[in-house]
Every structure is written in structure tokens, then in C-alpha cells.
């Protein structure tokens, strides 16, 4: 039996299997929806355990306990993502216990301060993050899944996924300077053609430490508009958005455990609790009290607005720290 540990943003999960899963995770970790995934040897330090055995399906293909998920299913019938999603679920449980949560968002940073970029599919989060990094000198914290959490009454970004699924049409419209690098030839299907690329491979500098989130923006990029619309982020609609993107992973609503034929493998319950719910509500309160805007309009104007606002916020934080240090020394 093989035994090892997976670590993501401080959360650890032991993996025990009769298959070579360590090789699978080491080969694919940079492209999984598990933020900053690492493989370790010290599985005994992990609180939660995932056990997988390659065998014939049974009525109880998945058994879930408080700190363990046990899976018995033919490996030949599983997709590459099945095992990864189960492990991610146990890691998400630990995030919650440590006052953290995965947030469907992009995130960039500069000088130790982070900007959280929210929006639905196709809203322009990736275009914004790439341009902020390559054109304005920001670092990439996350492109799609960001682990955020509470510490000393502040909200931090602890890490995130750093691969980018570039769509050809989006690159030509919003990142034309990358077109030849990512798509040497024009594809036949210019709308649906995509390429999976690591951020570092297109020149993006990666953030390697937790950053204080001092700015949150909900974006909807629309280059047909001439002006940038700006509204306050605090509203019932955006609180609804925040609650959903902070809760979908711990409540296991983002993935269905089905095999290659589309057959459900087994039931995986929600690991949510009143305590974890309260922690997420506190994250929402901090976001609402931060510099929280909703932006709609052309990409270039949205970048200018976010960058200029962040310069002001970083300067304010620097001055605040200087004055605090002066008062402490006085």
C-alpha cells in the first residue's frame, strides 16, 4: 500500500492506496483545481485521510466519516478528476476549520497587498489578472480558485490556482501581445479553441506568501462600452454572490462524483457547520467594509481604475503603518 500526504495552503490530507496516486498528483498538481498543491512524506501529521482501493464497484463505493473518505471503485472506470475532487473536499473541510475558504475568483498582489477579482464565467477575471501582472507589475496569487481566510480581524489570500485556460478569442481581444506566443497558428474554431498554460510560462511573476486583501472588485468586462460604470459593492445581490462562491466547495455543490459513463459513484455529504458558516459571514462583513466596487465597461479603463485605486490604498496603508510605529516609539 502506498501512503503519502497532500498539502494545500496549510491544509493536509493523508492518502492511502493500492495504486500509484502520488505519481498522478505530482504529474498533474499544477493543473488541478487545488491551490498550490504539494506532495509530502509525513502523512502521519495529516488530520484527514483519503483511502482508495481499485476493486469492483459495490453498494457502498464511498464511505464518509468525520475525518475520512473511503473509496472502493475500479480505477479504469474513473476520470482523472474523480480522486482529485474527493481530496479537494477534505482539504476544503480543513480550510474551514482554520477560518479559510476557497473563493471562485482571481487575485493579484503588489507590495504585500492583494486585489480580489470576482465575477461569473466570461466576466473577464482572467484578462484582468493577466494584464495587471504583465502590464502593471502585479504578482499572480490566483487565476480561478483563491484560498482566503481570517487573521487578526483582517482578510488574507493564502494562495490559489495558477494555470490559465486561454481562449483564443479572448486573447486576441484583450491580450493581443500574447497571441503568437500562445497560439502560433490561427485555430479553425476561433471561439472555442483554448490552451492550458501556467502563468509563469507567459511571464507572470507568482506570489509566494500570504497577502492582505485591501481591495475587492466585481468585474464585468464589456469592450463595447466607452465608459466604465462604477457602483458600490455592498448590496443584497453581491452578498448573495459572495455567500455562494464562499460556500460552494464546503457544501460540495461544484462537482458530481460520477464515473466515465456518467454513473454516480456514491454519496458525499456536506461538511459545512454553523461554525464554518459564521466564519464565512465574517469574511463577507470584512469584504463589505473594504474598498468594494462593481465595475462594468472596457478592460483598459477597468485596469486604470483598479490600479490607481490600489496605489492610493497602498499609500494609505504605508502611512498608517509609519504613524503607528511612531506612536509606539513615542
CATH code: domain of residue 109: 3.40.50
Q: What is the pLDDT of residue 325?
A: 54
**pLDDT tens string 265-300:** 888 889 999 999 999 999 999 998 888 999 999 999
> What is the Cα–Cα distance from 194 to 34, expressed in whole angstroms?
21
Pair 177, 29 in one domain: no
Out of 37, 68, 98, a domain closes at: 98
Q: Tell me the pLDDT band of 316, cut-offs 50, 70 and 90.
A: confident
**How high is the pLDDT of residue 317?**
81
The answer on 165 and 19 residing in a single domain is no
Q: Residue with C-alpha cell 481566510?
A: 149
pLDDT attached to residue 330? 47
Asked whether the predicted pLDDT for residue 326 surpasses 60, the reply is no
pLDDT tens profile 72-91: 999 999 988 889 999 999 99
For 291-313, letters b (16+ CB in 10 Å) and e give: bbbbbbbbbebbbebbbebbeeb
pLDDT tens sequence across 188-210? 888 889 999 999 999 999 999 99
* pTM given for the model: 0.92
As a whole number of angstroms, the distance between CA 219 and CA 123 comes to 6
pLDDT at 320: 63
Which residues, other chains included, contact 179 with Cβ-Cβ below 8 Å and sequence gap of 6+? 171, 172
Q: Are residues 51 and 171 both part of a single domain?
A: no
4-59 pLDDT, tens digit each: 999 999 999 999 999 999 999 999 999 999 999 999 997 777 889 999 999 887 77
Write down the pLDDT at residue 327. Answer: 43
pLDDT for the residue numbered 328: 54
Chosen domain end from 66, 98, 130: 98
Sequence-distant (6+) residues with CB within 8 A of 30 are 37, 162, 163, 198
> How many Cβ atoms sit within 10 Å of the Cβ of residue 170?
18
Go through 101-136 and write b for each residue having 16 or more CB atoms within 10 A of its CB, e for each that does not.
Answer: bbbbbbbbbbeebbbbbbbeeebbbbbbbbbbbbee
pLDDT digits (tens, 9 = 90+) for 119-166: 988 899 999 999 999 999 999 999 999 999 999 999 999 999 999 999
Determine the average pLDDT of the residues in 169-186. Answer: 94
Q: Give the chain's mean pLDDT.
A: 91
- Say if residue 113 is in the same domain as residue 87: no
CA distance 77 to 63: 18
Grouping H, G, I as helix, E, B as strand and the rest as coil, residue 74 is coil
| Neighbour tally for 150: CB within 10 Å | 17
CA distance 51 to 14: 8
| 7 and 44 both lie in a single domain | yes
**What's the domain range around 39?**
2-98
- The grid cell for 166 is 486561454
Distance, in Å, from the CA atom of 1 to the CA atom of 19, rounded to the nearest integer, reads 8
Do residue 198 and residue 58 come from a single domain? no
Q: Rounded to an integer, what distance in angstroms lies between the CA atom of residue 248 and that of residue 244?
A: 6
What is the mean pLDDT of the segment spanning 227-254? 87
Amino acid at each position: 500500500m502506498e501512503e503519502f500526504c497532500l498539502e494545500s495552503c496549510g491544509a493536509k490530507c493523508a492518502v492511502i492506496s493500492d495504486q500509484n496516486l502520488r505519481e498522478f498528483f505530482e504529474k498533474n498538481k499544477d493543473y488541478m483545481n487545488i491551490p498550490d498543491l504539494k506532495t509530502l512524506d509525513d502523512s502521519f501529521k495529516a488530520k484527514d485521510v483519503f483511502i482508495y482501493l481499485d476493486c469492483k464497484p459495490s453498494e457502498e463505493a464511498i464511505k464518509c466519516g468525520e475525518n475520512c473518505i473511503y473509496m472502493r471503485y475500479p480505477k479504469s472506470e474513473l476520470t482523472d478528476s474523480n480522486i482529485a475532487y474527493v481530496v479537494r473536499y477534505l482539504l476544503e473541510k480543513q480550510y474551514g476549520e482554520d477560518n479559510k475558504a476557497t473563493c471562485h475568483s482571481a487575485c493579484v498582489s503588489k507590495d504585500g497587498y492583494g486585489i480580489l477579482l470576482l465575477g461569473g464565467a466570461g466576466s473577464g477575471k482572467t484578462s484582468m489578472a493577466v494584464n495587471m501582472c504583465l502590464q502593471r507589475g502585479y504578482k499572480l496569487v490566483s487565476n480561478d480558485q483563491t484560498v482566503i481566510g481570517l487573521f487578526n480581524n483582517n482578510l488574507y489570500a493564502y494562495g490559489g490556482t495558477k494555470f490559465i485556460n486561454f481562449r483564443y478569442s479572448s486573447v486576441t481581444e484583450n491580450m493581443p501581445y500574447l497571441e503568437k506566443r500562445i497560439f502560433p497558428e490561427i485555430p479553425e474554431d476561433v471561439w472555442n479553441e483554448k490552451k492550458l498554460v501556467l502563468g509563469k510560462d507567459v511571464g507572470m511573476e507568482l506570489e509566494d506568501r500570504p497577502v492582505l486583501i485591501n481591495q475587492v472588485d466585481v468585474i464585468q468586462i464589456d469592450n463595447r462600452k466607452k465608459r466604465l460604470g462604477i457602483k458600490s459593492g455592498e448590496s443584497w445581490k453581491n452578498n448573495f454572490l459572495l455567500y455562494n462562491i464562499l460556500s460552494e466547495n464546503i457544501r460540495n455543490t461544484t462537482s458530481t462524483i460520477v464515473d466515465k459513463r456518467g454513473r454516480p459513484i456514491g454519496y458525499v455529504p456536506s461538511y459545512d457547520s454553523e461554525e464554518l458558516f459564521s466564519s464565512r459571514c465574517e469574511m463577507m462583513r470584512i469584504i463589505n467594509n473594504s474598498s468594494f466596487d462593481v465595475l462594468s465597461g472596457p478592460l483598459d479603463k477597468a485596469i486604470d481604475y483598479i490600479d490607481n485605486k490600489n496605489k492610493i490604498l497602498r499609500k494609505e496603508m504605508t502611512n498608517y503603518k509609519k504613524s503607528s510605529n511612531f506612536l509606539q516609539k513615542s
